[in-house]
Amino acid sequence: MSRQYFGTDGIRGTVGQSPITPDFVLRLAHAVGRVLKQTEARPTVLIGKDTRISGYMLESALESGFNSAGVDVVLLGPLPTPGVAYLTRTQRASLGVVISASHNAFADNGIKFFSAQGTKLPDDWELAVEAAMAQAPVWVDSASLGKTRRLDDAAGRYIEFCKSTFSNDLTLKGLKIVIDAAHGAAYQVAPEVFHELGADTVRIGCSPDGLNINHEVGATHPAALIEAVRQHGADYGVALDGDADRLQLVDAQGRLFNGDEVLYLMVCERLGRGEVVPGAVGTLMTNLAVEVALKARGVQFVRAKVGDRYVLEALEKNGWLLGGESSGHLLALDKHTTGDGLISALQVLQACVRSGKTLAELLADVTLFPQTLINVRLRPGQDWQSNARLQTVRQAVEAELGQTGRILIRASGTEPLLRVMVEARDGAQAQTCAERLVAAVQAV
């Protein structure tokens, strides 16, 4: 059975258009509450959000929907997605809810959920929620209505948790670090984490107004971070996205490091400390050079579907700890139950401080193959999979690349986009081949 509302990371869309409307969100929360009450008499859910102006409206709708089903609510206010996951676990809540559209512009928003253990929920749970939404609501009587309260020190608790993942015998003193929070959920906590660990911090993207989240700043717009690092003579730059579960890193020379490189560094840092790392998980988008380099170090590598939930599933299946996506979603399951941009950044900086080497020096033995990724906006109802011209061009490109490259064409799980990626040892060839494939998509 396919899901009607849930995508690869919760439910997401344009505010004011189905399904991101207050009436739908109220129904959604009511249905989730009914599913929770199948196994728990008096559930409690935590609700966090990013800085979008629509968060106020959707928070109220969620609160009403949960209360109407007899579910208690704890409001966390603006908090990174991984912070909500952490507090859900430590507060022994039944469920964590995040109001965010992650890296999307402010006009979008979404709802995603975490289990009581702070992990993404399986497809079966989402199907159960959608089934409950198809049923008539069952409002509890007044005496059974849920109550709502606010957890005032949510940000402080999460800051301490992030700091606890950084080695106690190390410090960031002497380092100047630019922090770009994308005007998003981490605008308060991110600078404090690095400051309290000793760094001299420079803040950009830390002044949200409800409308500027991810606007020309953050992990999806790293040019602002690169410029700030150069302008301030910083040692490093850390850029998060709107809900702070992904990151991009920049060194003092303005070189940008993506999630594939960070994953490789995290593996190598642990190997260097004598830890056993049997394997790591990437995705279909992970650069081929990283796979080759990991295998050369005796580390198995498995590709999952794009989406951190699928990386997590592969890690759990294999009993491994480290995985990630090129976009900057990184998982270190001995540190946190979900991807966390702040904690991933701290793991990288810890490796640099401990070794006395720069990021570039630590990554000297892996050179990424050039990749060209082009996003093609799909028209409503456009069936790209049945595009005969695309299939013909794809076959021709595959024959041209042979063993020196690869193609990946996939639909986005969060936006009406087709992502066309070509990877090759020759960057010009990758660009030309990708453009040929895009032209075939757009010709129909």
Q: Is 167 a catalytic residue?
A: no
pLDDT value of position 1: 60
Amino acid letter for position 15: V
Please, which residues have CB within 8 angstroms of residue 165's CB and are 6 or more apart in sequence? Answer: 335, 336, 343, 346, 347
Q: Answer whether 10's CB lies under 8 Å from 308's CB.
A: no
- Computed on alpha carbons and rounded to an integer, the radius of gyration of the chain in Å comes to 22
pLDDT value of position 137: 95
pLDDT value of position 402: 87
β-strands 11-14, 108-114: how paired?
antiparallel
pLDDT value of position 307: 84
Q: How many CB atoms lie within 10 A of CB 70?
A: 22
Q: How far is CA 407 from CA 16, 372, 385, in A?
A: 36, 10, 15
Q: Answer whether 334's CB lies under 8 Å from 384's CB.
A: no
Q: Please tell me the number of Cα atoms within 13 Å of 49 on its side-chain side.
A: 22
* Domains in the chain with CATH codes: 11-153 (3.40.120.10), 174-254 (3.40.120.10), 258-345+354-362 (3.40.120.10), 371-442 (3.30.310.50)
Amino acid letter for position 161: F
Residue 86 phi/psi, 5-degree rounding, is -60, -50
**How far apart are alpha carbons 191 and 197 in whole angstroms?**
10
Q: Answer whether 430's CB lies under 8 Å from 405's CB.
A: yes
- Is the link from the previous residue into 19 a cis peptide, with omega within 30 of 0? yes
CA nearest neighbour of 101 among 224, 205, 185 = 185
3-state secondary structure of 72: strand
Q: How many CB atoms lie within 10 A of CB 320?
A: 19
- Each of the 444 residues of the chain gets a pLDDT tens digit; together they read 678 899 878 999 999 999 999 999 999 999 999 999 999 999 999 999 999 999 999 999 999 999 999 999 999 999 999 999 999 999 999 999 999 999 999 999 999 999 999 998 988 999 999 999 999 999 999 999 999 999 999 999 999 999 999 999 999 999 999 999 999 999 999 999 999 999 999 999 999 999 999 999 999 999 999 999 999 999 999 999 999 999 999 999 999 999 999 999 999 999 999 999 999 999 998 998 899 899 999 999 999 998 888 999 999 999 999 999 999 999 999 999 999 999 999 999 999 999 999 999 999 989 899 989 999 998 888 889 989 999 999 999 999 998 778 899 988 877 889 999 999 989 999 999 999 999 999 986
β-strands 176-180, 236-240: how paired?
parallel
Q: Which of 54, 64, 94, 102 is catalytic?
A: 102
The region, left, alpha or beta by phi > 0 then psi within -120 to 50, assigned to residue 218 is left
* Residues written for the chain: 444
